[in-house]
Structure 1
């Protein structure tokens, strides 16, 4: 920066291309010789009332005893301003970052430093329950878009100095602020180092959502349709993972928080599991696993049995299924693929159209595609029932919906071409890929492969809190992880 206020203002105006929301409030400070100063803000990002009360009024009312610009600058910082958040800086890049984050910049003529004053006043959505992670018991609070509010939601639940928030900026154009959140005594230094390096090597111009970063945070050489990056919008879920040695990445402007490392079995866990009695939580968790396999395999097994292995059907079911399929013009494989594809179109339409029209899509799908198509003989009732059952089961584990959809289509086509043995072979390939996948050096299939008996207390079953509270298993201590090797050596 320059010592001249005029040069600094001209440089910032050029950087912002004289944008309409770039505002400058120039003033003259009361001193032995008049000293010029300026307040620089981005309109709509700051609270005008707070600026007037905590910045402008104190500056104009204060009489400075010294004429030196540097002394006046230091006196403003220590004795004049009443704001609780004041940061000193001396580069134009920092000036852009602070001003676009809702800070007011104070520049004084004759010094190459500026002050960033916390007077944020932009509008934002309040804290509300997340729609994607609904719980019956527990907190109704979910993350929102402002970064500082999300930090507060976590700090309220973990009142420990061991909780650390570390700032990182990504995106050459968006300059998006991230917060690495972790517990110092629980986190693995190796995992933390990997996350820092991958975020620093993230060559993106803009980062507007968690999906921009997930590919950079995945381990190289362990590509899969399953993601080793967890996403959550609930602060209680994030706090629970932090105690296990995880790292949470809070992104400014989005309520979705990234959790690393992430394991496959965690897709079947929820906050309600730990609020209910162990026997019921175990029942719900087993129900989720069964729903996952039904959603993936039921249409494929139906296709393979109907086309290649009809002897596997019970006699009564075989007669009904054969009669239903004989009245339709399409092969069973093509029939299942078409119905599944049409269902995905209806689902996407239901997500994108305005809510008042959602009921119309449901009526059209139920009457036209369902009842009318069966009555006209375009599709069989048994096929429609199988696809509908698989579709309903896929929502039980909604975070896994994308891989479930891809696997369902793939297995239906493989089952229609190669039969049951093709499905078995494809399943082996998927299992090998999942077992080979890692998340920051932690096997994605822990605690199943490699097997850990201690961790099984919270996989298929949910042990009581007396057992769970005896020892918290850190994620870096799972067998076959890179950290576990380091500990042994």
Structure 2
């Protein structure tokens, strides 16, 4: 198709009063597609048509709410335009109806499961909501598993996700705003926020970012995430599959982005410290929630720095290791052909290969591939003298630690590899410089004019009740702190 033809197709055309012309245009658009259905019939001597997309509609609803009432109506004394208005106002029993005057919006509605009623002599059509399509039933969350709390997770149709949020927040201040990404897929995006909590400045900037997205297709929320966050190693956009978690974020002034076809909801703004907070923290006893929160922080740093520290000690700084442990490392190193750095890199890559294989193979085989593959390859590598037992233990410990904070797994996997190389070439000095670089990057970044490292930097003492510890609900403020009120925020107040 030439560029001129594409431009002509993109121009919204007005619906004609000629039924034949309208049907010819629609047939040309769908070009003989098997699921495009036109049912032509007469209404008291006037030609009419019902236009639908098969498998997106409820045929029983069409028969009971559209065709049967029209057949029973007495409309012989009316012309085409009058018949359409009478059907629209007094005959159709469906709730979701809209008058369509342009083909551009009509096609979008049609491919969203609406039926189009057209009558000869009428220069508009009526879209009728008769959607019915197959979708996955609501199930337990697979990634954000909790011991206490809801067992519901989002599904692919965004209208169902909207109802799950609305059911939990019964307030008229909760607003849903639909947008559509300009792409071939015309994917619907819904912004969800509380009118009295959200920052108008953040909302305006987010809408502007979404409106500028130009992609051929949008099949998942991950397609649009890079367009609405700042560039950096760590994510400035949160992701959740739990309705209760999303409701909690919305109550703090954040904005949830629901993308049709994706069982995950994006949340902006997202701060670094939120990666260590889970729903279970607020459903368990405060002392245990505080313990697990610090455990996550420790596991995060362990998963990044332990292999690099091990390589640096064995290569440049053996005095930092206890004598017994140093002897074990030296003995293991003497029996292997590679340096500590090469050993760690090799085991790290093998582990990532096993993990990826476990994710991609059929589910019944995934656990077997990961467990059996890890045991067999690990044992064979040690027995053959390719790697030493201490190296295998260090990489295994860091791999397990990285799953304690799953939202940061991508970052920890890359940083771990970087610090292994730095530790094997520059020692502790390189690790210290690398840590400072990460710290500077975290403290200098902002997401929608809110410091990404808040409330740690700039430091806010009162916020430590839900950061350094998880205080009792009796001590936490009854009014939830808004995200735009974080220290260091440059967001304009209402």
Structure-2-length-normalised TM-score: 0.95
Could you tell me which of 76, 100, 110 is aligned with 1:89? 100
Q: Does 1:158 align with 2:186?
A: no
Q: Within 2, Cα distance between the matches of 1:38 and 1:117?
A: 13
Could you tell me which of 313, 317, 324 is aligned with 1:309? 317
Matches within 5 A, 1:83-482: 83-219=94-230, 223-482=231-490
Contact 1:441 1:482 in 2 (8 A): yes
Where structure 1 has 5 or more consecutive residues not aligned to the other structure, the ranges are none
- Two-structure CA RMSD over aligned residues (Å): 1.2
Cα deviation, 1:248-276, whole Å, max 9, x if unaligned, reads 01111111101000001111111111110
Q: Does 1:7 align with 2:18?
A: no
Q: Within 1, Cα distance between the matches of 2:389 and 2:398?
A: 14
Q: Within 2, Cα distance between the matches of 1:45 and 1:155?
A: 25
Shift of 1:359: 4.2
Cα deviation, 1:420-454, whole Å, max 9, x if unaligned, reads 11011011111111112111111111111111112
Answer with 210-219 or 242-251: which moved more. Answer: 210-219
Shift of 1:487: 3.6
SS in 1 for 2:440: helix
Where structure 2 has 5 or more consecutive residues not aligned to the other structure, the ranges are 1-14
Answer with 254-263 or 12-21: which moved more. Answer: 12-21
Shift of 1:173: 0.3
Q: Within 2, Cα distance between the matches of 1:234 and 1:428?
A: 35
Shift of 1:95: 1.2
Q: Which residue of 2 aligns with 1:55?
A: 66
Shift of 1:360: 3.6
Q: Does 1:40 align with 2:54?
A: no
Contact 2:176 2:190 in 1 (8 A): yes
SS in 1 for 2:145: coil
Shift of 1:65: 5.6
SS in 1 for 2:164: helix
Cα deviation, 1:131-174, whole Å, max 9, x if unaligned, reads 01111111001100111110000000000000000010004200
Q: 1:356 to 1:456 in 2, by over 3 A?
A: same
Q: Does 1:26 align with 2:40?
A: yes
Structure-1-length-normalised TM-score: 0.96
Shift of 1:90: 1.0
Shift of 1:315: 1.1
- 4+ residue runs over 4 A deviation: none
Contact 1:171 1:207 in 2 (8 A): no
Contact 1:163 1:184 in 2 (8 A): yes
Contact 2:315 2:424 in 1 (8 A): yes
Shift of 1:20: 0.8
Contact 1:300 1:415 in 2 (8 A): yes
SS in 1 for 2:118: strand
Answer with 11-20 or 248-257: which moved more. Answer: 11-20
